[in-house]
Structure 1
Amino acid sequence: MARVFRWLLRLVSAALVLSVLAVLVVYYLASRSLPDYDNTRPTAGITGDIEIVRDNAGVPHIFALSDRDAFFGLGYAHAQDRLWQMMLLRRTAQGRLSEMFGERTVRTDTLLRRLDLYPLAVQSVEAQDAATLDALEAYASGVNARIDEINADSLGRGAPEFFLFSAPVAPWKPADSIAIVKLMALQLSGHLNEEVLRARTSLLLDDAARLADILPDMPGQGTAALPDYASLAPGAPGPTRSARADLPPFWPVAPRGLAGASNGWAAAPERSAGGGTLLANDPHLGFTAPAIWYLARLQLQSGGVIGGTIPGIPAVMVGRSEKLAWGLTSSYLDDQDLFIEELNPDNPEEYRGPDGFRPFVTRKSIIEIKDAPAVTVTLRFTDNGPVLPGSQFDLAEITPPGHVVSLSWTALSPRDTSMTAAMGLMTAGSVREAIEVSAAYVAPSQVLTLIDRDTIGMKLVGTMPRRDANHQSQGRLPSPGWIAANRWQGVLPYSANPGFLSPSGGIVGNTNNKILDRPFPLHVSFDWGDSQRVQRWQALMQGRKVHTRESFVEAQLDTVSPAARTLLPLIGRDLWFTGEAAPEGTPERQRRRALDLLANWSGEMNEHLPEPLIYAAWIRALQDRLIRDDLGPLADAFTHVEPLFIERVYRDIDGASAWCDVIRSAAEESCTDIARLALDDALVWIDETYGTALESLRWGDAHQATHDHPVLGDVPLLRQFVNIRQSTSGGDHTLQRGRTSGDDPNPFLNVHGAGYRGVYDFADPDSSVFVTSTGQSGHFLSRHYDDLGQLWRRGEYIPMSLDEDLARAASVGITRLVKP
């Protein structure tokens, strides 16, 4: 027995030693790709020496004697810290993910091939102006210099992920950067999904008037009644299954409600305590680890520029120079239309146009797949745009037999000069000059908020489609593509894009709210991203005669929900302080306890409070109760509460209280009945999920920010190292927006919000501040992988200074690229 024990001990000891050695080997290989920030390296392809000074937050300050070398340095820095992220973005845009990930990403690759984004990016290279083309080439050379260095010095393949998903890293090209801009446009566009959902809902509702309740237009003029979708597409089968289909990895189209958002506002000198202009901006995107944003400073010949960049793109997308500051918010411009295309019954390779049948333009595309045979996809294009298969976006449910669906979209331009516009902002010297250079923006369309030393302004940038005034659905539903009045008539002139320059009130702002009332076809959009946050923003802006950097920060971090303040008095008006006393442990007692908490709540979505969770669960259960019997499985598509819908129902606007009556029951339910039942539903869900007293609940436990690694985030054990989870305040309708997932079993996870925050003060420019939601590095072994995340969570910032001495004094290393 002793001998057996000794051998078992030896075997266990050997296994432990081998495990430790394996961990050490893995750590060694992974750590080889950590960049050395304090290094001098002879580098070909530069005209003069470059210094990359990284401050104590890992932000690179790039100094060079020419703009070309500065962009070379930015490409090199991006590749040092985010090479895996850059390659993943490029492969997504190219439709080449399956070469690394196998069959699970074929659907994603197929969609990108059908949209033809990368070939369009290649064609767009020649459309850039000379300065932009020079910057793109220099940036690509900088990226490639880092790739060559990795290969020459065996630097761990550049990122740990490359050991797990082996694939050659091709040299970077200018078209790659333009392709990423187009990919961002796809991620920020939501009108395709909106049109499909509106069509599916229209086919289900018995009362067409109820469509304006569940999918409400923003209040204002210029909205006409929608036609019944069945009249536009006779024979469309309608919804036949649950609306929540599993999406493949890296699916580039955001689910409904999770496309672009953002906040941006500015104050003129007369509204500023310091006498200078002020600007606050926080663009909202889906959370990932690392964040999409990367902070950087470039010293150009026109002066310093600093702010948020996107790895793969050689431009400061949001930030400031010495003379100008700019922020971006999603404009919600209706830049996508779906068209029902009739096939020739005698020849399915032809589709109907205004003048008869014509052939599709077709092209074969081969998708290489890891560990599986390649797939050949036939791409088809009409005059209106690429043809999308019925298997995607639930298009089969809204497409009549003998028809297909095509997409018109402004980003499908072979002469996309959005990159030229982004580069021009960095050297613009005034608000007026910035508005002028932004005429080159095509997609994604954004609202640009601007300040210089004494002027503020706002301008919608991006190409606006020109639609015929007789368009059958005004672009809100898929429409017959052969009818000339439905087709796009080119684009509107840039002068038609709405804008505001030096407004009399001294403040401009945008929270994705409706920005103007113009009748169709100059309407910009029928669907907007916000009807709630703007109310709180207006109150905060009007509550002070003058503002400071601190008051802008306070507004940016505000967590009061105007939706909660509006809806709770409506849905609970017959429930507050009513009913008999109930014994402990009964549903009635639990309901009374919840109502007592909510009655004394300010509407602040604070992570430490129980009330936000009770409210969110109640209002979610209420919407589901209202729509489930009318829509059936399609109710699953309405993943987020629409405050305008709830308000219409409980104010009985145009008969909207009809939603309260359950169609399939004999009794006639009142809206009070449904509110009470929904509250009971919510309390049961809370008890099953958290199993604690209501007073002990924390909103932050449910509302965790999910900065998950897009590849390794679901891998057991590894996810503990690569995912960043943070308890957060805010919610769907607060200025500190933390958009919830809407999906069970964790519907309140914070999945979409401000990955970047910046506040710029031209009374003292170097007192400006910024921060991102994770850190600068994409390497999970780096201390800069998540060091900014805790600052972001606490509502703190880091200095945004162009002071060279300050950057050098606080540097963690200086990388010198010198001519050989």
Structure 2
Amino acid sequence: MTALARIGAALLVGVALPSAAQPLKVAGLSQPARILVDTWGVPHIYAASQDDAFFVQGFNAARDRLFQIDLWRRRGLGELASVFGPAYIEQDQAARLFLYRGRMDAEWAAYGQDAQRTSARFVAGINAYIDHIARKPELLPFEFRQLGYTPAKWLPEDVVRIRSHGLTRNLTQEFARARVVCRAGLAADAVRAQLSPSWTTRVPEGLDPCLPDDALDVFTRATENVRFGRRPVQASRAMLNEETLEGSNNWVVAPSRTATGRPILANDPHRAYGAPSLRYIVHLSAPGLDVIGAGEPALPGVSIGHNGKVAFGLTIFSIDQEDLYVYETNPANPQQYRYQDRWENFRVVREAVQVRGRPAANVELRFTRHGPVIYQDGIKHRALAVRTAWTAPGMAPYFGSIDYMKAQDFPQFRRAMERWGAPTENQVYADTAGNIGWVAGGLAPVRPNWDGLMPVPGDGRYEWKGFLDGAKLPFVLNPKQGWYASANEMNLPAGFPYKEHKLGFEWPDNARARRIAGVLSKTPKASMEDMQRLQNDVVSLNARRLIALLKPLSSQAQEARSALRLLSAWDGEERAGSAAAALYEVWWSRHLGRAFKSAVLSPAATLAMDAPNPSVLIASLEKPGQRFGADAIRRRNEVLLTSLGAAWAEMETLQGADPASWQWGKLHFSYFAHPMTPILDHAARAQVNVGPLPRGGGAFTVNVSSYHPDSFWQAHGPSFRVVLDVGNWDNSRAINTPGQSGNPSSPHYRDLATSWSEGKYFPLLYSRQAVEKAARQVIQLVPVP
């Protein structure tokens, strides 16, 4: 297949749903098992053994999400061209560079007991469902039929060898910093990025920071999603913007500060949106195992939820796990690079990439002693390679949750987190004994003589010295304040030896964390409803800080005067129906940063970076100083008023001259797109895409609603929300979006989207009695005699 043709709606009609009328005979199952699907599409799996529970989890994941997990597997293993054609050879080659290639016995051992067995049972279940639809081809998801291929069988190793979907992206920040340093000097980078804790970085000895613009193209191919209908690689700089949009919130409240007298744990991880959802909620019940929550459908277990005794929820904790190495290559032999005082050969792995409709493509994968080579310039005799913790044993993203989800108390939970690899996490914890806590986890490289903030020469001067002992990462048990929260902010505790360990210095803006802390500290007896409201909170503390700067100002210009009047009366709550929120976000995302850069940076520095750091921007406006030069306050006010007037003029273009008709939700909305959208016609898209749904909030509200400034469409946000009533589990609440199923014909494909958009939840039922009462579908599985 050399091209993917546009697919029409008629081809989607008649997609079958699995029938539950008769027990399904399934080879590989040891004893009968049941799947009870509740009103909201959550499968509750009851099995006679843990082996069977993970088998049925895999079977059920394939039942609901087969195309999604097959696509993820092919992307991660580098097997896209075999079904989509030659346009994907380069992406396959790039993906293979980042596969785990170490010893599998060390890999399995890194996750604790029974990891290999759990993975084997899980993929056996996936494969059993693939066999089932081979016998009943009417059940084959429409995507396979329209794209003309069938799902592949899985190996246990497939679950853990794929590493390129982890949320570790310091590499691109190193590249962005080098770009600014090359064109404008290190001082200019302080506008692009804020380092925390306070830190002064230096250009590493021997580094030429002027790297080629396409240096990260291979890395981008390896880590991006599958894209249909257009070239499957995006520019490296575009990728940098998307990374800043990732985030999550979690918090836990002690019994002394809740209305229930029990701990409450809340979590809403923020990820990119699509149909179907990234997250999948599932309940696994078997002797010695009774866990419920959300995870990724291609993995066994759950990463967020509870096990009847212990509850857990995660956000990203920004450990720097990547480094970009720059090498001199041998002018006389391009197969060699300089290391110390000698030339070393690249390690070359040759593989055949299967290509649909063509002979296999033979590709070379090159590696240095540090990692995969992503760029080589034969003219300038330079090469770039990536050293990443990804390639170490135990680094399959989220797979380690099969260890901590079984913990029965805080010491067990902490020990599991000491082994945790990726992604780097803040885990909040609560148990039925009333304890609450926080544990940071993730594999942290030890860099004895540099900070990891810029690329370094690969000649041996900058070497990792293993990894930090996980027991040295910070944790808190039963904090005195009675609660703990994280929102990706810099949260290293006072006294942590950050100069010694150098975990990382690049963290998201702390506005969400400050808002959560402000609400929790003023809520002496938090209820479940309070926590749900906080997850849906759209108050922007950053907006309030900027409004405070506007209130004393005046302007002779009509546009700026009108904008001042509207924003000065605003409370900073970014409701979907708010005119002020619409004006503010247009000002913030399209005008203020640009005006600030022009005022404080040289033309070269302005061109070298996309946007100023939000924290730096606001702090500089609040306390104008050296950056603005002489008469700093006047120049600061000019930046505010000029950019504000331009934003008002743009709002008139976008929504008309009458501000009474302006609404943020008319510009800003959620749209859950199926990955095949680019090759579907309009009618077909209507069947598989969900939305648009008007949205409030912004990138710095607790209810995160990050967007691309060119369109205002929501790009990232809460992929799943949960509020757990620890000990009264049936009173817990959750929501997924747009639905649990990946089948557009299923009633559970889009049924949760409106509730999610409106801040509503459903009961996350746990007791057998409550589950039986809410069951709407029963799927019985029996072994083949």
User: Given the two structures, how large is their TM-score scaled by the length of structure 1?
Assistant: 0.86
Of stretches 100-109 and 264-273 in structure 1, the one that deviates more from structure 2 is 100-109
Does residue 535 (structure 1) correspond to residue 500 (structure 2)? The answer is: no
Report the equivalent of 2:699.
732
Deviation at 1:458, TM superposition (A): 1.0
Aligned length: 756
State the one-letter code of the partner of 1:627. K
Q: Superposition pairs for residues 231-242 of structure 1, below 5 Å?
A: 232-234=206-208, 236=210
Return the index of the structure with the highest Cα Rg.
Answer: 1
Report the CA distance shift for 1:366/1:685 in structure 2 as closer, same or farther (over 3 A). Answer: farther
SS in 2 for 1:349: strand
1:178 aligns with 2:160: yes
Is 2:141 the partner of 1:163?
no
Answer yes or no: is 1:294 the counterpart of 2:265: no
C-alpha distance in 1 between matches for 2:379 and 2:617: 33
Rounded to whole Å, the distance in 2 between the matches of 1:316 and 1:347 is: 50
Tell me how far apart the structure 2 counterparts of residues 538 and 248 of structure 1 sit (CA, whole Å). Answer: 35
Say which SS state the counterpart of residue 198 (structure 1) adopts: helix
Shift of residue 633 of structure 1?
Answer: 9.0
**CA distance, structure 2, for counterparts of residue 801 and residue 723 of structure 1:** 28
Q: Which residue of 2 aligns with 1:647?
A: 618
Matched, 1:555 2:534: yes
Task: Write the letter of the residue equivalent to 1:488.
Answer: W
Aligned to 2:439: 459
Contact 2:101 2:391 (8 Å CA) reproduced: no
Kindly state the Cα deviation for residue 440 of structure 1 after the two structures are TM-superposed. Answer: 2.3
Matched, 1:720 2:720: no
State the shift of 1:431 in Å.
Answer: 2.1
> Does 1:437 find its partner at 2:437?
no
Amino acid at match of 1:514: M
Q: CA deviation at 1:807?
A: 1.6
Match of 1:512 among 466, 475, 488: 488
Matched residue, 1:215? 193
Deviation at 1:776, TM superposition (A): 0.8
In structure 2, what is the equivalent of residue 772 of structure 1?
Answer: 736
CA distance in 1, matches of 2:607, 2:216: 7
Match of 1:706 in 2: 671
Q: What SS does the aligned partner of 1:670 have?
A: helix
Determine the C-alpha separation between the residues in 2 that align with 1:240 and 1:429. Answer: 49
Structure 1 position 118, deviation (Å): 7.3
Q: CA deviation at 1:649?
A: 2.9
Counterpart amino acid of 1:528?
A: W
- Which amino acid counterpart does residue 313 of structure 1 have in structure 2? L
Once residues 255 and 213 of structure 1 are traced to their aligned partners in structure 2, the CA distance between those partners, rounded to angstroms, is 16
Q: Deviations over 1:47-106 (max 9, x none)?
A: 110000101111111001111111111111111110000001001101122223334434
Using the TM superposition, give the Cα deviation of residue 282 of structure 1 relative to its aligned residue in structure 2, in angstroms: 0.6
Q: CA deviation at 1:130?
A: 4.8
CA RMSD of aligned residues (A): 3.0
For 1:694, which of 659, 677, 694 is the aligned residue? 659
Shift of 1:366: 2.8
Letter aligned with residue 716 of structure 1: D
User: Which residue of structure 1 lines up, in the alignment, with residue 390 of structure 2?
Assistant: 411
Q: 2:575 aligns to what? A: 606
Partner residue in 2 for 1:51 = 34
One-letter amino acid matched to 1:197: A
**What amino acid does structure 2 have at the position aligned with 1:723?**
N
Assess, with a 3 A threshold, how the Cα gap between structure 1 residues 175 and 420 changes in structure 2: closer, same or farther: same
Say whether 1:741 aligns with 2:721: no
Q: Does 1:35 align with 2:18?
A: yes
Letter in 2 for 1:566: R
Change (3 A) 1:730 1:329: same
Q: 2-side partners of 1:547 and 1:778: how far apart?
A: 36
- Separation in structure 1 between the aligned mates of residue 106 and residue 150 of structure 2, nearest angstrom: 24
Q: Tell me by how many angstroms 1:692 deviates.
A: 4.7
The answer as to 2:41 corresponding to 1:62 is no
Native 8 Å contact 1:295 1:306 kept in 2:
yes
Match of 2:501 among 514, 522, 532: 522
Asked whether the 8 Å contact 2:697–2:704 carries over to 1, the reply is yes
Give the 3-state SS of the residue equivalent to 1:212 in structure 2: helix
% identity of equivalent residues = 26
Map 1:69-468 to 2 at 5 A: 69-117=52-100, 124-125=107-108, 129-157=112-140, 159-179=141-161, 182-185=163-166, 188-205=167-184, 208-218=186-196, 220-221=197-198, 223=199, 225-228=200-203, 232-234=206-208, 236=210, 249-250=226-227, 255-258=240-243, 260-371=246-357, 374-389=360-375, 401-414=380-393, 416=395, 421-453=400-432, 454-468=434-448
1:589-632 per-residue CA deviation (whole Å, 9 max, x = no partner) reads 33322221100111111111011121111123121123258576
Structure 1 position 117, deviation (Å): 4.3
Q: SS at the partner of 1:363?
A: strand
Tell whether the 8 Å contact from 1:275 to 1:763 is kept in structure 2 after alignment: no
CA distance in 1, matches of 2:209, 2:55: 56
CA distance in 1, matches of 2:50, 2:509: 39
Q: 1:593–1:754: structure 2 CA closer, same or farther, 3 Å change rule?
A: same
Match of 1:622 among 573, 592, 597: 592
Q: Secondary structure at the match of 1:161?
A: helix
1:678 to 643, 648, 659: 643
The amino acid across from 2:243 in the alignment is: L
Shift in alpha-carbon separation, 1:639–1:320, aligned structure 2, 3 A: farther
TM-score under structure 2 length normalisation: 0.90
Residue 336 of structure 1: CA displacement? 0.8
Q: 1:148 to 1:286 in 2, by over 3 A?
A: same
Q: How far has the Cα of 1:372 moved from its partner?
A: 5.4
Counterpart among 470, 474, 492 of residue 498 in structure 1 = 474
- In structure 2, relative to structure 1, the CA distance for the partners of 1:639 and 1:248 (3 Å cut) is farther
